[in-house]
Homo-oligomer: A and B are copies of this chain.
């Protein structure tokens, strides 16, 4: 009996839908990780990752584990016991960074904002002033748990001026909205394959700039994780090809194919596509009186955190969408559980068809769950928006 999963339209917080070419790449027969053909594939992957991160960083490669491992890789390689890390927390993933930094033995200084709001540069400036010499300032560019879109440039300037390293989580932004690693002076950045890159989950693209690499070279202690020790991984992915682990071949096929698709579409065109579909969805929701959770002016194109109308049963709506339409959306996390739905329009999932489907499905399901609405209004508003009216 072969595995045949149900057909789903993935509009949750990830994974997103995957292009048939990526699925075909996954099914290609394996080759060895030291095969010359695989080494050529590694080189092309590094090249296309650099283009996607908008960086010239030599140390740009996929970590052989999911995005959370990319987060851990950045922190365990840059932090040594007793060093100070300023970590910005306005959602689940900032909280996770704190947990990891503490496991590194770092002294963690929090900069907090309400979930759904962004971190203000002034707050980071104060923390930099008060904390003594910080080694790292870390924050989340696109908070998947809240839908908030964090501006980076001003904070980057403050971090650079304080001679700290700027670590950015771009898991839900890379490939869906601008992530300009070099221009924005990001020292270390990581992402995941299963969001706007539209690959399967399993790898974490990562890039380290010259200042971060310098910090690696100057470490006094070994990195606490052997598997995530970037100095070793760098040599495995570099010209020396020093054996470290066995690269997950099929996942690397898939990532490369996904990156080729991004190159073919063009990054700017892809960003514009994500923006257009987000705006249409938002217009449609507004037409039936439903708003987004994240602060105005800071709402992600890639992940919409939708306020659940009062009295509507969170889980009942999600179950109905899945059962009736094969449509997956996500629930809220932590304090936002039961308060928001998370509707991703990422990578291959960001299409006009999916915007219209999501809205018409909600128009069918919400009235049964006690929310009165003007049927057709959401779809109509979104379609007008898509038509440029």
Cβ-defined contact, A251 with B202, below 8 A: yes
Q: Which residue of B is nearest A63, CB measured?
A: B65
Give per-residue flags for A1-44: 1 if the beta carbon is below 8 A from chain B beta carbons, else 0: 11111111010101101100101111111111111011001000
Cβ-defined contact, B8 with A31, below 8 A: yes
Which of A47-55, A239-247, A269-277, A360-368 forms contacts with chain B?
Answer: A239-247
A and B contact pairs by CB, cutoff 8 A, 13 listed: A2-B257, A3-B253, A6-B37, A8-B32, A10-B32, A14-B246, A26-B26, A64-B65, A100-B226, A201-B249, A202-B250, A202-B251, A224-B224
Q: Which residue of B is nearest A222, CB measured?
A: B103
Query: What is the minimal beta-carbon distance from A23 to any residue of chain B, in angstroms?
Result: 5
Given contacts A12-B34, A24-B27, A69-B227, 4 further A-B pairs with CB under 8 A are A2-B21, A3-B28, A6-B35, A201-B249
Task: Using A103-B226, A224-B224, A224-B225 as known contacts, say yes or no to A68 and B251 having CB atoms under 8 A apart.
Answer: no
Contacts of A253 in B (CB 8 A): 3, 5
In the complex, which residues 315-329 of chain A have their Cβ closer than 8 Å to any Cβ of chain B?
Answer: 322, 328
Contacts of A285 in B (CB 8 A): none
Instruction: Give Cα A28–Cα B243 distance, bound, in whole angstroms.
Output: 31
Contacts of A250 in B (CB 8 A): 26, 200, 202, 250-251, 254
For chain A, the bracket of interface size reads 35 or more
Q: Which residue of B is nearest A248, CB measured?
A: B202
Query: What is the minimal beta-carbon distance from A252 to any residue of chain B, in angstroms?
Result: 9
**How many copies of the chain does the oligomer comprise?**
2
Instruction: Give Cα A226–Cα B96 distance, bound, in whole angstroms.
Output: 9
A192 within 8 A of B: yes
A305 within 8 A of B: no
Instruction: Give Cα A243–Cα B332 distance, bound, in whole angstroms.
Output: 11
Query: What is the minimal beta-carbon distance from A351 to any residue of chain B, in angstroms?
Result: 15
A256 within 8 A of B: yes
Cβ-defined contact, B10 with A31, below 8 A: yes
Which residue in B3, B6, B37 is a CB contact (below 8 Å) of A256?
Answer: B3
Contacts of A1 in B (CB 8 A): 260
Cβ-defined contact, A227 with B65, below 8 A: yes
Query: What is the minimal beta-carbon distance from A53 to any residue of chain B, in angstroms?
Result: 20
Instruction: Give Cα A21–Cα B9 distance, bound, in whole angstroms.
Output: 24
Count chain B CB atoms within 10 A of each CB in A23, A30, A76, A256 and give the residue with the most.
A30
Task: Using A27-B23, A226-B96, A254-B250 as known contacts, say yes or no to A15 and B35 having CB atoms under 8 A apart.
Answer: no
Cβ-defined contact, B200 with A249, below 8 A: yes
Query: What is the minimal beta-carbon distance from A63 to any residue of chain B, in angstroms?
Result: 9
Contacts of A2 in B (CB 8 A): 21, 24-25, 257
Cβ-defined contact, A37 with B5, below 8 A: yes
Which residue in B32, B37, B247, B328 is a CB contact (below 8 Å) of A12?
Answer: B32
A72 within 8 A of B: yes
Task: Using A27-B23, A72-B226, A227-B65 as known contacts, say yes or no to A246 and B194 having CB atoms under 8 A apart.
Answer: yes
Instruction: Give Cα A253–Cα B15 distance, bound, in whole angstroms.
Output: 14
Which residue in B5, B69, B243 is a CB contact (below 8 Å) of A31?
Answer: B5
Instruction: Give Cα A121–Cα B247 distance, bound, in whole angstroms.
Output: 34
A164 within 8 A of B: no
Contacts of A23 in B (CB 8 A): 27-29
Q: Which residue of B is nearest A224, CB measured?
A: B224
Which residue in B21, B72, B328 is a CB contact (below 8 Å) of A35?
Answer: B328
Query: What is the minimal beta-carbon distance from A380 to any residue of chain B, in angstroms?
Result: 29
Instruction: Give Cα A33–Cα B328 distance, bound, in whole angstroms.
Output: 11
A156 within 8 A of B: no
A153 within 8 A of B: no
